[in-house]
Amino acid sequence: MALLGFLILFPLVVAAVLLVVRNNRARSAIVGASALVIGLASIWLVATYLGAPWVTFDFESPLIDYASTAVSVLVAAAILYYGIRYKNVLACVLAVIQVAGSLVFEFGFAHSIDVTEALYLDSLSLLMAFIIGVIGSGICVYALGYMEDFQAHEPEGAKDRRPVFFALMFVFLSAMFLIVFSNNMVWMFTGWEVTTVCSFLLIAYTRTEEAIKNAFRQIIMNLLGGLGFLAALYLSAIQLGTLSFLEFLQIGIQNPALVVLPVCALAFAGLTKAAQMPFHTWLLGAMVAPTPTSALLHSSTMVKAGVFLLVKLAPVFLVCPVPSVMVVLVGGITFALCSFMAISQSNAKRVLAYSTIANLGLTTACAGVGTPEAVWAAAFLILFHAIAKSLLFLCVGTAEHHIGSRDIEDMDLLFDRMPRLARFMMLGIMCMFIAPFGMLVAKWATLVSFVDTGQVALILLLAFGSAATFMFWAKWLGKLSGIAGQPANVEVTVHKSEWTAIVVMAVLVVVGCVCLPIISQLVVEPYVYSVFGVLGQDIASTNLWIASIAAALIAIVLFAGLGRGKAKKAEVYLAGVSADNEARVYRNSLSGESAATSRNMYLDGIFGEKRINPVGTVACAIVIIVAFGFSAITLPGLF
């Protein structure tokens, strides 16, 4: 238990130190060392409790209860401050409601309810701890080099606000650890709100008009979700008389009719945090932030808190149809439509954002289905998405600083310009969508679990969404792989800290994919067993091993096999007379010179945001409203 406390508190201490340290080298040393400590501590935690089905820790402290309420109030006060400063009425109103709500709750209801086992740990928490501890702190290390370049690009005399930036990153980690380890729902709520406000501050970091606007969009949507969480706390305390998450789940499993509304409210909170339609716009807006922020929000934290909560609720969804249908439909529709919209994007970060939302949608749908097999798939979706997406974000961030653009079209010839980076990026992309890598194995399990439960609508959404996924990843992969001429290598100036983080992620991708059967056996299956009492895994282990071997083979080819062909070099065919074949320049029909260039297809007329976005927003909003309508009817005493 000391380890849990350490993981939650240590990042806070680091954050406090970073806030006052203004020296660059000292900061680098502190961030590097503490990232290593957090990473090792979380690995140690995983190793210690590997395979443990369910551990709770007797721990209660009214002091911490008060402290967590105080933090909630502080969070709301901070939002209020910014809301007034930037004259955003809606944010202020929501913040006031939340302050009032949490104060009334703490002193009116929660005080009388004891949660004797405030901390707990199971295999899913371990998985999350690994993601937060290793990937999250890896991103912090990456940020060192990135933010140095970022600061260099800032106008002369701009205030160096990096101390705040790094402090926020570590507070984020701490809040995430709090969410995944808390059994006391009030503490969990505190962590939840802290992540919201941290990401608000991180998104608004550049203080441009657009950044402020997007940050407020984020805070408004997530405060709405937070109110959902708060409502669930009220309902749980009043109706069920408990604030222990485990007890809440057990009551829900045994007596689903009782918990329809609180589960709906919690699921709503999860959906907003996981940026599901119609709340997906906050995640797209978050792209204005520096890349490490996007990486942190997308891969290891924030959105993962949302799906974590939903996966935790999965056993309740299994027996409780109203919230289940809501989550399944919202997740499924989000997956398909966001995959479609990703086709129409040429901005690499927007493609990544849409793909994140889509994959979170799939995870959400799995959680909503709630069978052991679906939960198995969801756990792997979370893991591989975290690893591969952080790798991709870090690569795009580095590429952006060296080629001056985050547009996929400008990544032409990256294979020669940044040979190592391009290969890492290709690895990340392949891990996201193609067999035999982790994401596809998880998607496969997802498909099987949908079939087994007769979720015909989900099969439809998955099939069409997957086809779109192939399209937008394959064309990006193709762009990266292009080889022509000998463009200058611009890779030599990449910071060491960036390489460290990228290599760590790439190694994790390969190890994760190759060791998938082992991870399944040691981490994911114990969780599924501890929750459902049965083993749910619908891919024969032989097939997992075939995938594992094939993944290893591709990784070897990618890093050792490419570029070794011994064939004589030939020129490409340009249908006429080449003026400069290396640069694809030919003599045109007017005896002038033209360069042959091509852009990828974006099919904007079919899959453009303008066409798809309103459909998804309206459909998902209707689903959520109807679900709440239904669950309100079930509330005893309301009608």
Partner 1 sequence: MSLLFALIGTLAFAIVAPVLGCLLAGLDRKITARMQGRVGPPLLQPYYDVRKLIEKDNVSVNSSEGTYITCALVFTLLAGGIFYSGGNLLMSVFVITLAGLFFIVAAYSTRSPYAELGANRETLQVMSYEPMVLFMAVAFYMAAGTFDSAGVFALDAPVVTSIWLVFLGLLFVLTIKLRKSPFDLSYSHHAHQELVKGITTEMSGKTLAKVEIMHWCENVLFLGWVGLFFVWANPLSIVLAIVVVVLVYFLEIWIDNNFARVKWQAMLSSAWAVAFVAGFVNIAVLAYL
Partner 2 sequence: MTFATKSPWVIHYDGSSCNGCDIEVLAALCPGYDVERFGIINTGNPKHADIFLVTGSVNEQNIKVVQEIYNQMVEPKVVIACGICACSAGIFHDCYNVIGGVDQAIPVDVYAPGCAVRPEAIIDAVVQGLGILEEKSKALQAQKKGA
Q: Which residues of the shown chain bind partner 2 in the complex (CB under 8 A)?
A: 570-571, 573, 576-578, 587
Q: Considering only residues 485-544, where is the footprint of partner 1 by CB under 8 A? A: 540, 542-543
The sheet carrying 585-587 orders its strands as: 578-580, 585-587, 593-595
CA 177 to chain centre: 15
Do 241 and 319 form a contact (C-beta atoms < 8 A)? no
Q: What is the rounded CA–CA span in Å between residue 405 and residue 590?
A: 34
Which option in partner 1, partner 2, none does residue 52 bind, with CB closer than 5 to 8 A by kind? none
2 lines the binding site for partner 1 (CB under 8 A): no
Q: What is the rounded CA–CA span in Å between residue 420 and residue 318?
A: 45
Strands (E), 116-273: 119-122
- Classify burial at 282, counting beta carbons within 10 Å of its beta carbon; exposed 0-12, middle 13-18, buried 19 or more: buried
440 lines the binding site for partner 1 (CB under 8 A): yes
User: To which residue do tokens 């004259």 refer?
Assistant: 87
Which option in partner 1, partner 2, none does residue 175 bind, with CB closer than 5 to 8 A by kind? none
Which option in partner 2, partner 1, none does residue 577 bind, with CB closer than 5 to 8 A by kind? partner 2
Q: Which of 128, 231, 274, 468 touches partner 1 by CB under 8 A?
A: 468
Q: Rounded to 5 degrees, what angle do the CA atoms 40, 43, 49 make?
A: 140
474 lines the binding site for partner 1 (CB under 8 A): yes
Q: Which of 454, 533, 592, 637 touches partner 1 by CB under 8 A?
A: 454
Q: What is the rounded CA–CA span in Å between residue 15 and residue 558?
A: 39
Which option in partner 1, partner 2, none does residue 540 bind, with CB closer than 5 to 8 A by kind? partner 1
596 lines the binding site for partner 1 (CB under 8 A): yes
Q: Closer CB to partner 2, residue 572 or residue 622? A: 572
615 lines the binding site for partner 1 (CB under 8 A): no
Which option in partner 1, partner 2, none does residue 492 bind, with CB closer than 5 to 8 A by kind? none
Nearest in space to 503 (alpha carbons), one of 415, 425, 608, 445: 425
Q: Which stretch binds partner 1 (CB under 8 A): 120-128, 203-211, 260-268, 563-571?
A: 563-571
557 lines the binding site for partner 1 (CB under 8 A): yes
Q: Closer CB to partner 2, residue 53 or residue 576? A: 576
Q: Which stretch binds partner 1 (CB under 8 A): 182-190, 349-357, 491-499, 590-598?
A: 590-598
Which residues lie across from 182 on neighbouring strands?
Answer: 119
Q: Closer CB to partner 2, residue 346 or residue 578? A: 578
Q: Rounded to 5 degrees, what angle do the CA atoms 105, 108, 112 make?
A: 100
Do 421 and 414 form a contact (C-beta atoms < 8 A)? yes
459 lines the binding site for partner 1 (CB under 8 A): yes
Report the DSSP pairing between strands 119-122 and 585-587: unpaired
Q: Which of 80, 475, 502, 536 touches partner 1 by CB under 8 A?
A: 475
Do 29 and 56 form a contact (C-beta atoms < 8 A)? no
Which option in partner 2, partner 1, none does residue 563 bind, with CB closer than 5 to 8 A by kind? partner 1
Q: How far is the CB of 515 from partner 1 (least distance, A)?
A: 16
CA distances to 336, 445, 516, 543 from 538, rounded to whole Å, are: 23, 6, 14, 10
Do 325 and 309 form a contact (C-beta atoms < 8 A)? no
The 3-class SS string of 62-89 reads HHHHHHHHHHHHHHHHHHHHHHHHCCCH
Q: How far is the CB of 595 from partner 2 (least distance, A)?
A: 17
Q: What is the rounded CA–CA span in Å between residue 375 and residue 367?
A: 6
Which option in partner 2, partner 1, none does residue 87 bind, with CB closer than 5 to 8 A by kind? none
Q: Closer CB to partner 2, residue 47 or residue 570? A: 570
Positions in the binding site for partner 1 (CB under 8 A): 412-413, 415, 430, 434-436, 440, 444, 447-448, 451, 454, 456, 459-460, 462-464, 466-468, 470-471, 474-475, 477-479, 481-484, 540, 542-543, 545-547, 550, 554, 557, 561-575, 584, 596-598, 600-601, 606
